[in-house]
């Protein structure tokens, strides 16, 4: 009985290790486009991106979008169609390489909390530099 349990545990462990060995690195790029406007990047404080495993919910990566707002001409032309490429290399993005096995992934975005430096704060109002970090 004990020998049988040992064999079962060994097979289970080898299966887990084999799955990890089969993981292929995936380059993931997330861009956040505001409705009928531009890409949200550094000048607007960025957007926080959280990438999670689709099965376990485990956080795979998190960070802020960085970069410019993109090419206005490319974004605003009328003949764009459904599959037009709206971004260019300068458009804000969050990039990460995930090298662990995952059965799927999902992403959520949120605006980071505004951060104010202590010396910018006066009673009940902000003055001076931008409140964005």
Q: What is the mean pLDDT of residues 37-58?
A: 85
pLDDT for res 52: 86
Distance, CA of 35 to CA of 122 (rounded, Å): 34
Distance, CA of 108 to CA of 123 (rounded, Å): 34
122 CB-side CA count, 13 A = 5
Question: How much of the chain exceeds pLDDT 70, in percent?
Answer: 55
Distance, CA of 55 to CA of 79 (rounded, Å): 39
Residues with Cβ within 8 Å of 74's Cβ and at least 6 positions away in sequence, in order, are 85, 86, 87, 88
3-class secondary-structure state, position 100: coil
Residue 118 backbone phi and psi in degrees, to 5: -55, -40
Query: Over 60: is that where the pLDDT of 36 sits?
Result: yes
- The separation between CA 132 and the C-alpha centre of its own chain, rounded to angstroms, equals 19
pLDDT band of residue 117 (cuts 50, 70, 90) is very low
Instruction: Report yes or no: 132 and 69 within 8 Å, Cβ to Cβ.
Output: no
Question: How much of the chain exceeds pLDDT 90, in percent?
Answer: 2
pLDDT band of residue 66 (cuts 50, 70, 90) is very high
């Amino acid at each position: 009985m004990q020998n049988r349990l040992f064999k079962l545990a060994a097979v289970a462990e080898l299966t887990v290790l084999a799955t990890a060995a089969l993981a292929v690195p995936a380059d993931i790029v997330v861009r956040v486009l505001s409705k009928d406007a531009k890409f949200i990047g550094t000048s607007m404080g960025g957007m926080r991106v959280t990438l999670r495993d689709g099965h376990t919910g485990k956080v795979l990566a998190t960070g802020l979008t960085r970069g410019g707002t993109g090419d206005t001409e490319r974004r605003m032309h009328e003949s764009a169609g459904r599959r037009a490429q709206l971004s260019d290399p300068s458009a804000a993005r969050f990039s990460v390489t995930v090298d662990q096995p995952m059965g799927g992934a999902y992403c959520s975005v949120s605006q980071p909390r505004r951060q104010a430096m202590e010396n910018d704060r006066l009673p009940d109002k902000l003055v001076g530099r931008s409140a964005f970090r």
